[in-house]
Amino acid sequence: MVRNGSIPKVKESKTKRRGDVLGLPRQPMIDWGSYDFHPVVHLPDEYEVRDFTTGDYSPSKSEYDIGRYDELRPGMYATELFAGARFLHVGIDIGAPVGTPCMAFANGEISHFGYNPADGDYGNVVITKHRLDSATIWALYGHLDAASIIGKSVGQLVTAGEVICHMGPREENGGWDPHLHFQLSYTEPETHDLPGVVDPKDREDALAKYPDPRLVLGPIY
């Protein structure tokens, strides 16, 4: 799997960070390019990168596929949870068979875990917390199997490359085809949840809070 080194570093003003300039949340200073993160999912050499902006949600042609970050997905989120208004995706989806293992990308700890039962929600979730440089980043792993949250505890240490969860079936993952929703957050979650899709009018604020997962996953598309 490709590493993260070729993803551009976040550029900051010499005097003000992006959040200060735009009135958005302050982004912590992380030298992303200095890290060699462990893959979250072992991807094969060939997989499909989906384009959901077209509204075509037919099954993937590949056993593994990618759903993109910062993508408008009209009509995908039709359950009551999303109120017909939230359809801008702020994580990356990695489609793979049920039971595919998902790993910690760096040393850290479990900060939250649990089950989100609403139709179309994440189902089972694990969130990890990582200290990078002098900053803290959280990572949400969503649409997991029920076994992924058994035996977990807040503060439980994880090591880079450790299998911490597995992709779940529809009856355990919120009703979706099997995949991992992987999302980064500069903001500490209040519970075992983060908004994985937002109203497009909130895009600027959401992208400031939830940076591109390719900072960790590498240039997978």
Looking at the domain assignment, is residue 10 inside a domain?
no
Looking at the domain assignment, is residue 121 inside a domain?
yes
- Give mean pLDDT, residues 46-56: 95
CA dist., res. 9 & res. 145, Å (int): 34
Looking at the domain assignment, is residue 4 inside a domain?
no
pLDDT at res. 76? 86
Looking at the domain assignment, is residue 84 inside a domain?
yes
Tokens encoding 128: 């990890």
- What's the pLDDT tens digit per position in 170-183? 999 999 999 999 99
pLDDT at res. 24? 58
**How far, in Å, are 13, 41, 176, 213 from residue 185 at the CA level?**
21, 19, 23, 9
Looking at the domain assignment, is residue 41 inside a domain?
yes
Where does the pLDDT of residue 13 fall: very low under 50, low under 70, confident under 90, or very high at 90 and above? very low
- 155's torsion region: left (phi>0), alpha (psi -120 to 50) or beta? left
Domain that includes residue 93, residue range: 18-217
- What's the pLDDT tens digit per position in 61-120? 999 999 999 999 988 898 888 877 899 999 999 999 999 999 999 999 999 999 999 888
70 Cβ contact partners less than 8 Å away, ≥ 6 residues apart: 88, 89, 90, 203, 207, 212
Q: Structural domain tally of the chain?
A: 1
CATH assignment of the domain containing 162: 2.70.70.10
CA dihedral 219, 36, 207, 164 (to 10 degrees): 100
Looking at the domain assignment, is residue 82 inside a domain?
yes
Looking at the domain assignment, is residue 129 inside a domain?
yes
Looking at the domain assignment, is residue 158 inside a domain?
yes
